[in-house]
Chains A and B, each alone.
Chain A
């Protein structure tokens, strides 16, 4: 188990595996752990004193899994995802990406970060780069030659459904298309894991449904591990293999729910009693904890 090699001393394997129930349709890849969190905690220093954003959290995201973090706003979802992405450091605890520690001797480990692709609520495309150059920015940073970048951009734009927009400026694209480009950028260097923080939160409901279907398709075609943050119950249940419900003040894991609907799921699955049962249970729990 990945836990055994974590440095932190206060981890018990029992506590760690509390949330580890295999989903009904456990896939072959599910034996490997893509992301392992042990006792990960976050305090923010503010002018009004320290804020306890996240109580110690243990999570193991299986390789190839689609896990969704769900919770009311302010419960520490972004904090958790940014810690996993290496953007901020945990106050305590250990994070492993594909078995490698994310932080070592106070430095973020490049190889661990290279396994991660991040997508934010805003597409965060650079306005001075064309869509093509935005998508292949990570490859440019890796000094990949231009023809290789071009070819990669074409494939990715095909994959995310924005082919033909190579030479456009970001401001010429709609919000949904910009978010597709952001996903393509995160995929460009072929990381094993995608971290998405409310990626469709700024989109209208219809675009959002379409994007959820697209994400499921991309996930199916690429076999990536996906950790997605949302505050939409429907989105969570529709997308997830497992939904992790977080409760606020301080943020902590409240419940973990397996969602076993067959893949690929169509939007109609949302109308089934089984789906609604999970949604209702989650909504009830959310009102209790919020």
Chain B
């Protein structure tokens, strides 16, 4: 069994270099907060412009204690998740078709490029006009924003399926569906998940921007309300809440990456023999 030893992965995962960020990141954050605190104290700047870190902290605790604020967060989560799900389903579906069918890609490519260049948030007022001030318009904005990175990554994934792998499936006389299920889908999964990582963050942005413009619910609405009330510390607290939400979504997709593609180096898993 000497062969077993030579094939073992030799890299140790938790060496000094991979531990370093765990120390530097909190230190840098602490340094920034300290600078912020020092600036607020030293410059006597108005609390309407820049509240102190303590004020933001207590406003954030208030937010956590308020059931109404949790409802706002729930609205934003709902819009983001539903919008993202639509963007995912349509993006992957269309992406697979475009990646496989050359004439479809040639036909649609000019439109895709054109729409990518357009700043899509410009459409948000139009969606509000069309779909009202409720959650629907926000879900649609989320879906549209999440859709494009997922689409382009899926197309890329399907098109970069290894020629040699295709040869294997051809030599096995595999059906078109078998090729899709056993080759194209798993092979594009790392690309699709990368698209999802970008897409989920954009979906959140879409929901929030939609809430800025209309309705009376969601963290975006809450943020505008705090702004109008000159509660700058509360505004910071809502921003913090949004940031935390973004992190949770992003790491959720990261978790999905580890679950779905443990074989891929991007999952960062090295199996212990």
B263 at interface (Cβ–Cβ under 8 A)?
Answer: yes
| Inter-chain contact B7/A177, CB cutoff 8 Å | yes
Instruction: Knowing A124-B165, A127-B264, say if A141 contacts B7 (CB, 8 Å).
Output: no
List residues 171-214 of chain A with CB under 8 A from any CB of chain B.
Answer: 171-174, 177, 185
Shortest Cβ distance from residue B210 to the other chain A in the assembled complex, whole angstroms: 37
A168 sits at the interface (CB 8 A): yes
Segment 197-249 of B: residues with Cβ below 8 Å from A: none
Set of chain B residues within 8 Å of A87, measured between Cβ atoms: 167, 170-171
Within 8 A of A (CB), among B50-99: none
B165 touches A108 (CB 8 A): no
The answer to whether B171 touches A116 (Cβ under 8 A) is yes
Contacts of A137 in B (CB 8 A): 168, 172, 182
Q: Indicate whether B25 reaches chain A with its CB closer than 8 angstroms.
A: no
With a cutoff of 8 Å between Cβ atoms, the chain A residues found around residue B265 in the complex are 171
In the complex, chain B residues whose CB is within 8 Å of the CB of A138: 172
What's the least CB distance linking B172 to chain A, in Å?
Answer: 5
> Which residues of B approach A to under 8 Å, CB–CB?
1, 3-4, 6-9, 162, 164-165, 167-168, 170-174, 178, 182-183, 186-187, 189, 261, 263-265, 271
Given contacts A87-B171, A126-B182, A162-B3, list 10 more A-B pairs with CB under 8 A: A87-B170, A113-B172, A116-B171, A118-B171, A120-B168, A126-B183, A129-B263, A137-B168, A140-B182, A141-B178
Q: In the bound complex, how far is the Cα of B171 from the Cα of A124, in angstroms? A: 12
Most buried by A among B162, B171, B182: B171
Please give the distance in Å from B265's CB to the nearest CB on chain A: 8
Q: Is A166 an interface residue (CB 8 A)?
A: no
* Nearest opposing residue in chain B for A82, CB measure: B167
Q: In this assembly, does A261 line the interface, its C-beta being within 8 Å of a C-beta of chain B?
A: no
Q: Which of B8, B164, B167, B173 has the most CB of A within 10 A?
A: B173
Q: Which residues of B contact A124 (CB under 8 A)?
A: 162, 164-165, 167-168
Interface residues of A in 116-135 (CB under 8 A from B): 116-118, 120, 122, 124, 126-129
A113 contacts across to B, CB distance below 8 A: 171-173
Nearest-neighbor residue (CB-CB) of B162 within chain A: A124
A110 vs B173: C-alpha distance when bound (angstroms): 7
CA separation between A114 and B170, bound complex, in Å? 11
Interface flags, A68-81, vs B, CB<8A=1, else 0: 00000000000000
